[in-house]
Structure 1
Amino acid sequence: MSLTEASNGTSDRRLSWWTWVVPLPIFFLGTLISLEAKITTGTSLLYLPLAFGLTLAYWWGPRVLPAFYLNASACAGLWGLSRVELWAVYGLPETVFVALSWLFFVKIISGKIWLPDTKQMIYFLITGIMIPLVIYKFMLESIFMLAGDAPVENYWNLLITTGFGDFISTFCVSLPLLHFLTPWMAKRELLLHREKIEHLSQYSRLRKVQWLEFLTVAIIASVINLFLDFIDYWFLNGILSLYVAMRFGFGATVLMNSYMLIITYMVPAAIHHGYLPHFAESQMLRTQLGTALLYVFTIITGRLVSDMRLSEARLNERNNELNQMNSELDRFVYSVSHDLSAPLKSILGLVSISRLTTVENEHRHHFDLIERSAYKLEAFVAEVLDYSRNRRTEGAHEPVNLKDLSQEVFQNLQFADGFNEIAFEDAAIKHEWVISDRSRLKMILQNLLSNAIKFRNKTGKPFIRLSTQVKAEKLMFSIEDNGEGIRPELKHKIFDMFFRGSHRSDGSGLGLYIAREAAKKIDATLEVTSTYGEGSVFTIALPASVVPVPAELPKPIPVDQDE
């Protein structure tokens, strides 16, 4: 996201020109398939362009409406509607459906189009499908009746029959497209709206063994629909879908319901055109109603099952985090009490020794040692405060100049032992401006640069070299030195709380632990590569949403830690 977009609060991206063109052939293909399920003039049991139009409008916005309206109007003749002067009118109802669905769910409610939870699923069902569909069907059947394309006595019969068919097809076709493809589209920046799309949880994906079970259920459904009359035994499909919902959750239920749509509606319609006219019979109306309700019931059940399992997994994760925090707290209290008491005992001991001597030079020496202990105590308290501040404060999105921040932190260390020996190089910082949390980046750099100075190369010319590069949609900010490096057996321990990896480590052991925790707070990672005796490279991998920006300075934007 550019800095201008961040400051203006906009979240739309500029899409390619082909997003205006591609929808038209997709809608036309949906029309050709739907013609196979034609009941009478102008009506079909299934109308797939509704599902395609809804999905593409959610992805790309109102730009798909012109193509949708053009397809609906131009294809009116294929449905047996011979009055050319009314074709433009025939295309209005379904265009209104797509426009209202996008307006209600995406624009007004700001729904999450990948449907990540039960709340979003119900919002989509009501505002994205049901309300627009009722308006669409009343408009369409009223136009047919007034134009004389359908007899008045069949008005309610066709409205209800085709209404249920349109609901089933729109619901079962748009759900898998939105749920499974939206995260894929977002990753490739093919969505109009910039949204933080969560990856599908493990409860929307099936393992190999579960796939075998799922395919077995699908085969059973195929056998049932092959040998039994759908009108009399439609409820068996519902039982199978309910089993899948209870067993596997939302993602598998979406796939199963879509498969049911194919084998009960689309395949028979493709095999022989004479199959579908009897769908207008009263018994079939009851079947349609039952099928629609079962689809909704099983989808909501699957969504609730997935949400319950996900909540349970998150609860277990939080419990593990709490146990780890309790363990760290015990270590923290013990180590803090030890590290606080050691300098104090040293100071008290030096004071006692000073009282026993009258030699002035010895007094000065004791004062130097007391001062060193006091500085050590002050540094430890500062690290404890950093630890506390990082855990309790929220983050912020604000413009940060990495080069300026790095120079500021380095200059703050000018009184450190060996500072004047270090060659500080930042010319390789090619991406100076980022949107991130300045205080936490400063906290990370403070610890990394101070360690690089402390464990510098004592035999050659020590240097610290900073660089940036964009890699795998992340901004990699590297801090390289040619110091003593890290022993291979200690690499996995250096980020642990209170770990000291060298006899020269007179610090608290909190520095790298705080740096790693601060990186987590800004959704970044902190990694290290090191060769003992040659040096180390610490790399801060900032997330994809943190990218180079122009040097403009709007006000910082607070970040909700729950997002």
Structure 2
Amino acid sequence: MSAPNVRVLYIDDEENNLQAFKASFRRQYEIYTAISAAEGLKILENISVQVILADQKMPGTTGVEFFKSITDSYPDPIRILLTGYTDIEALADAINHGDIYRYITKPWNDLELHNSIKNAYDAYKSKIDLRNKVAELEKTNDELNRFIYSISHELRAPLVSAMGIVNLVKMEGLYESSGEYWSLIETCSNKLDYYIQKTLQYYKNNKTVSEHSLIDFHKLIPGLIDLYSYADKETTFNTVIDQKVPFYGDAFRIEVILGNLISNAIKYQKETELNKKVNIHIAVRKDQVEMSINDNGMGILNEHLEKIFTQFFKSKVNHGSGLGLFIVKEALNKINGKIAVSSDPAEGTTFKITIPNVK
């Protein structure tokens, strides 16, 4: 391997070792040498090296100690330890903490050392390539998310106009004048609006930085019920809110979580159920809020309970986007919340949520 562009730093307190190393490898690598850890650090401040070799037994600072000291400030170079004696405990500790790539005993074998440097450089390239690819993927993902967000906003304007026309037709008593066409337009418009809303929620949940504010559940819960039940007059809501202490949290994400769960509780009621009901219980404590949302709807099959928080998961009876509960779980992860679900197709479903009180 002839690769003079590979920059190698060798630190050793014995000048003879430095000279021997340089003589052996100067044609293959760009060599930098330092007689102490302090001098090696100065070289690192000015030269971007890819592989660092250090002797273990140096006065003041050992090789392992030097590698540990540069882990945060210079994480990229691959580190190789040279040692004339075997300190198993120090070596094991360094390897376990990722401080060294490998160690070689002294006196070294030129071929073995050459292969180790070559492999170390390959590891360095792989690390940098991976980081660049991750950064590229993150950039592409961010651009895609912004594109979807922009398109979703653009779609909402004509959609709202179409829904407004349907409402005008209803007001003028012409809704039934064209058979099922107006009903079909309204159904399709509502479904498209639902998908757009979920897309916007997903984007905002990923991008929005948590902002903590005082939350009054006595105001929040009735407002969400009114918002999501405006088209449903059959479901009865029973709410119990116990809030005697202030609660501080991420209002946006808490609204997203509760909104999705309340919406699902309404949407998945049994068509044949005469007494459709949703029970909401909120208990605010000093350290957290405990919330329970229970319905007597169609329930969830046991084999689906572990899958319902998966992105785009839909059962045969679920005609939604497959994003609602995924967004709920992601939002809870952002605010260190937890969720549990229990369900019986004959009795309904209960979601229990806990969210820390950040104040």
Name the counterpart of 2:93.
Answer: 245
Which of 439, 443, 449 is 2:256 aligned to?
A: 443
Alignment of 1:140-539 (within 5 A): 239=87, 242-249=90-97, 363=178, 365-416=180-231, 419-430=232-243, 433-457=246-270, 458-469=272-283, 474-503=288-317, 505-539=318-352
Q: 1:446 to 1:244 in 2, by over 3 A?
A: same
Q: Is the 8 A contact 1:488 1:532 kept in 2?
A: no
Q: Is the 8 A contact 2:217 2:241 kept in 1?
A: no
Task: Report the Cα distance in structure 2 between the residues aligned to 1:430 and 1:539, rounded to whole angstroms.
Answer: 17
Q: Is the 8 A contact 1:403 1:432 kept in 2?
A: no
Q: Is the 8 A contact 2:239 2:279 kept in 1?
A: yes
Q: Is the 8 A contact 1:430 1:467 kept in 2?
A: no
Q: Is the 8 A contact 1:383 1:511 kept in 2?
A: yes
Q: 1:372 is aligned with what amino acid?
A: T
Task: Report the Cα distance in structure 2 between the residues aligned to 1:529 and 1:431, rounded to whole angstroms.
Answer: 28
Percent identity of the aligned residues?
A: 30
Q: 2:90 is aligned with what amino acid?
A: L
Secondary structure at 1:493 match in 2: coil
Task: Report the Cα distance in structure 2 between the residues aligned to 1:540 and 1:463, rounded to whole angstroms.
Answer: 19
Name the counterpart of 2:31.
Answer: none
Shift of 1:484: 1.5
Secondary structure at 1:453 match in 2: helix
Shift of 1:444: 1.0
- Post-superposition Cα deviations, 1:536-562, rounded to whole Å, max 9, x if no partner, equal 11122213xx26x7xxxxxxxxxxxxx
Structure possessing the higher radius of gyration over alpha carbons: 1
- Post-superposition Cα deviations, 1:135-177, rounded to whole Å, max 9, x if no partner, equal xxxxxxxxxxxxxxxxxxxxxxxxxxxxxxxxxxxxxxxxxxx
Q: Is the 8 A contact 1:426 1:466 kept in 2?
A: yes
RMSD (Å) for aligned C-alpha atoms: 4.0
Task: Report the Cα distance in structure 2 between the residues aligned to 1:462 and 1:530, rounded to whole angstroms.
Answer: 16
Q: 1:520 to 1:244 in 2, by over 3 A?
A: same
Q: 1:524 to 1:531 in 2, by over 3 A?
A: same
Q: 1:514 to 1:376 in 2, by over 3 A?
A: same
Give structure 2 stretches of 5+ with no counterpart. 1-84, 99-126, 163-174
Task: Report the Cα distance in structure 1 between the residues aligned to 2:294 and 2:178, rounded to whole angstroms.
Answer: 42
Q: 1:490 is aligned with what amino acid?
A: H
By relative contact order (CA 8 Å, sep 6+), the higher-ranking structure is 1
Shift of 1:509: 2.0
Query: Scaled by the length of structure 2, what TM-score is found?
Result: 0.51
Q: Is the 8 A contact 1:452 1:483 kept in 2?
A: yes
Name the counterpart of 2:61.
Answer: none
Shift of 1:376: 1.7
Shift of 1:245: 3.0
Task: Report the Cα distance in structure 2 between the residues aligned to 1:427 and 1:478, rounded to whole angstroms.
Answer: 10
Name the counterpart of 2:13.
Answer: none
Secondary structure at 1:528 match in 2: strand
Task: Report the Cα distance in structure 2 between the residues aligned to 1:429 and 1:463, rounded to whole angstroms.
Answer: 20
Task: Report the Cα distance in structure 2 between the residues aligned to 1:472 and 1:397, rounded to whole angstroms.
Answer: 15
Query: Scaled by the length of structure 1, what TM-score is found?
Result: 0.34
Shift of 1:452: 0.5
Task: Report the Cα distance in structure 1 between the residues aligned to 2:182 and 2:285, rounded to whole angstroms.
Answer: 52
Q: 1:384 is aligned with what amino acid?
A: T
- Post-superposition Cα deviations, 1:495-519, rounded to whole Å, max 9, x if no partner, equal 122222243x332222111111111
Q: 1:474 to 1:414 in 2, by over 3 A?
A: closer
Q: Is the 8 A contact 1:397 1:437 kept in 2?
A: yes
Secondary structure at 1:507 match in 2: coil
Secondary structure at 1:246 match in 2: helix
Task: Report the Cα distance in structure 2 between the residues aligned to 1:519 and 1:439, rounded to whole angstroms.
Answer: 11
More helix by share: 1
Shift of 1:428: 4.6
Task: Report the Cα distance in structure 1 between the residues aligned to 2:344 and 2:176, rounded to whole angstroms.
Answer: 45
Q: 1:471 to 1:403 in 2, by over 3 A?
A: closer
Q: 2:307 is aligned with what amino acid?
A: K
Give structure 1 stretches of 5+ with no counterpart. 1-235, 251-311, 348-359, 550-563
Task: Report the Cα distance in structure 2 between the residues aligned to 1:376 and 1:432, rounded to whole angstroms.
Answer: 39
Task: Report the Cα distance in structure 2 between the residues aligned to 1:420 and 1:492, rounded to whole angstroms.
Answer: 32
Q: 2:198 is aligned with what amino acid?
A: E
Q: Is the 8 A contact 2:338 2:354 kept in 1?
A: yes
Equivalences, count: 217
Shift of 1:468: 3.7
Q: Is the 8 A contact 1:402 1:433 kept in 2?
A: no
Q: Is the 8 A contact 1:401 1:432 kept in 2?
A: no
Name the counterpart of 2:120.
Answer: none
Shift of 1:471: 9.2
